[in-house]
Chain A
Amino acid sequence: MSNENFDPKIVGFFCNWCSYRAADLAGSARIKYPPNVRIIRVMCSGRVDPTFVLKALADGADGVMIAGCHPGECHYINQNYKAMRRYEMLKHTLTAMGVEPERVRLVWASAAEGRQLAEAIDKLVSDVRRLGPLHWPRNWDENGERQKALDDIVKEHEEAMEVPA
């Protein structure tokens, strides 16, 4: 598949108080951004458990964007700092698992920053397009050897000689 024709699937976890509104603002201001991102609204970027990101990737997403309020401006005092630490921890682990760290991104966007958010989405989509599809479940395949091996065992057991008791 040529990378230009590849439409990445991006899952976005956007904070209710700023980034989700920034996306709204981008819409009402008719700022264009690629339609590849599927946005899930969360109450805070601090709500984003690393499990969500891993599940998104394991279920077929090519990239993930977490977006929240700028540091110091969290609706819940300081939970976006937690998001920042979790993001660094997650990136460290993802790198060890062979996932390109560029696929997962943390972005700060206030409710007024529709344009900045649109640009960040644009950048993530083009970066992921360059990296290509992730197709994570394909990593679990055994290249068709599995079924043949199992069939061989059944056949071999059928053909084996009976051992007298």
Chain B
Amino acid sequence: MSDKPKGKLALYWAASCGGCDIAVLAIDEKILNVAEAFDIVFWPCAADGKVRDVEKMDDGSIDVCLFNGGIRTSEQEYMAQLLRRKSKVLVAFGSCASEGCIPGLANMNTRKEVFDTVYKEGSATVPENPQDVRPQPATKMPEGILHLPVFYDTLRTLDQTVEVDYYLPGCPPEAENIWKAITAIRGKGVRNLLCEAPEGPSRQKVPDTFSAVIGLNTTVCEECPRKRGEKKIKKFYRTWEIIPDEETCLLEQGLLCCGIATRAGCGALCPAVNSPCIGCYGANDGVADFGARMMSALASVIDSDDPDEIRRIIEEGIPDPVGSFYRFSLAASQLRRKKKMQIA
């Protein structure tokens, strides 16, 4: 690796938990190889650096930017636009940037509802907030106007905000996949990697035939060693209701296992410890809406032809359909969020 000139690497986080930054460090001592191959020009979580320094860089001067987190505030959107401009390759790193992930589940609420929970009903803040103070985007002070980022009603994924070149799925991505991605980017050279991307002005519209996802094109079921038979389900169970048999397919036992729709790459970690797949690697190729694929597959295995019984099995077994089918992908789904009350 050392014979090549050093590349420039940036890492940034937006609406995420911070786990993706930690996952980068989970590649252990190989982080030294990363430092050998790249100058880390911006990584607020781990190294000192100012937004102002990034603003002063030439456009396209960062070779690779690994961006984790969804876009929930105006500041995050600004940073996404800034880093897009400054980077040759922008990677949506992890589930939040790719498809919204857990922060995206707040799309089931509006900003007002989120703020009510935090500033009015939340047990941690309420005793100290008797006047119901809320964050204001602009506050006039003697010295001038102070700004806070605007909190959006709807969390967007990175590619709903700016063009994205590659996606690295996972919550967080497995260390070995991160390493594979970094070596691929470094090995091929940024320019070669870019050449594989569709050319011309339509770069943001990745054609369906082109997989920009750094991962496998198959489902978790493929990596899962459990025995699969014909699936017929009379009742869905939640994970705490049964102790599943360790050898049979979890879906066959009535657990909502998302392996059937989820991209492989994790090594089927959860089914290996007797826990259903929750879908953190996101939709596999050809799945336009993760939840719809889950609905379609689960409905097919319900063992009943009677509408009333079907309704009962679904309503009793799946009390939270959005949380079950869209746990990681609500913001990237067709509908993206719950209906907002329209303001006339």
CA distance A63 to B154 in the complex (A): 23
Residue B291, interface by CB 8 Å: yes
Residue B77, interface by CB 8 Å: yes
CA distance A71 to B310 in the complex (A): 14
8 A Cβ contacts from B293-344 to A: 293, 295-296, 298-300, 302, 304-305, 307, 310-311, 314-315, 318, 320-322, 325, 333-340, 342-343
CA distance A140 to B160 in the complex (A): 11
Nearest residue in B to A54 (C-beta to C-beta)? B334
Query: Would A139 and B340 be within 8 Å (CB), given that A84-B307, A85-B299, A92-B318 are in contact?
Result: yes
Query: Would A97 and B322 be within 8 Å (CB), given that A55-B289, A57-B334, A153-B74 are in contact?
Result: yes
Residue B285, interface by CB 8 Å: no
**Considering only CB atoms and an 8 Å cut-off, how many residues of chain B contact the other chain?**
50
Nearest residue in A to B287 (C-beta to C-beta)? A51
1/0 contact string of A127-165 vs chain B (CB within 8 Å): 000000001101110110110011011101100100100
**B138–A152 touching, CB < 8 Å:** yes
Residue B269, interface by CB 8 Å: no
**B321–A96 touching, CB < 8 Å:** yes
CA distance A20 to B77 in the complex (A): 47
Report A-chain residues with C-beta under 8 Å of the C-beta of B74.
145-146, 149-150, 152-153
**B296–A50 touching, CB < 8 Å:** yes
**Considering only CB atoms and an 8 Å cut-off, how many residues of chain A contact the other chain?**
41
Interface stretch, picked from B113-121, B144-152, B204-212, is: B144-152
CA distance A152 to B136 in the complex (A): 13
**B78–A82 touching, CB < 8 Å:** no
CA distance A85 to B318 in the complex (A): 14
Distance in Å from the Cβ of B7 to the closest Cβ of chain A?
Answer: 25
**B295–A86 touching, CB < 8 Å:** yes
Residue B46, interface by CB 8 Å: no
8 A Cβ contacts from A1-50 to B: 49-50
* 18 contacting pairs across A/B (C-beta < 8 A): A49-B292, A49-B296, A51-B334, A58-B335, A58-B336, A82-B300, A85-B302, A86-B296, A86-B299, A89-B298, A92-B314, A92-B318, A93-B321, A136-B339, A139-B337, A139-B339, A152-B138, A152-B147
Residue A88, interface by CB 8 Å: yes
Report B-chain residues with C-beta under 8 Å of the C-beta of A54.
289, 292, 333-335
Residue B137, interface by CB 8 Å: yes
- Residues of A at under 8 Å CB distance from B? 49-51, 54-55, 57-58, 71, 78, 81-82, 84-86, 88-90, 92-93, 96-99, 135-136, 138-140, 142-143, 145-146, 149-150, 152-154, 156-157, 160, 163
Residue B55, interface by CB 8 Å: yes
Distance in Å from the Cβ of B99 to the closest Cβ of chain A?
Answer: 15
Distance in Å from the Cβ of B337 to the closest Cβ of chain A?
Answer: 6
Nearest residue in A to B144 (C-beta to C-beta)? A159
Report B-chain residues with C-beta under 8 Å of the C-beta of A139.
154, 335-340
**A88–B339 touching, CB < 8 Å:** no
Distance in Å from the Cβ of B308 to the closest Cβ of chain A?
Answer: 10
Residue B222, interface by CB 8 Å: no
**A50–B78 touching, CB < 8 Å:** no
Residue B52, interface by CB 8 Å: yes
Report B-chain residues with C-beta under 8 Å of the C-beta of A89.
295-296, 298-299, 314, 318, 321
Report A-chain residues with C-beta under 8 Å of the C-beta of B153.
142
**B321–A92 touching, CB < 8 Å:** yes
Report B-chain residues with C-beta under 8 Å of the C-beta of A146.
74, 77, 150, 152
CA distance A85 to B291 in the complex (A): 15
CA distance A99 to B321 in the complex (A): 14
Residue B288, interface by CB 8 Å: yes
Report A-chain residues with C-beta under 8 Å of the C-beta of B78.
150, 153-154
**B147–A135 touching, CB < 8 Å:** no
Residue B59, interface by CB 8 Å: no
Distance in Å from the Cβ of A155 to the closest Cβ of chain B?
Answer: 9
**B334–A99 touching, CB < 8 Å:** no
CA distance A55 to B334 in the complex (A): 6
**B289–A142 touching, CB < 8 Å:** no
**B322–A93 touching, CB < 8 Å:** yes
Which of A86, A98, A150 has a CB less than 8 Å from the CB of B338?
A: A98
Residue B35, interface by CB 8 Å: no
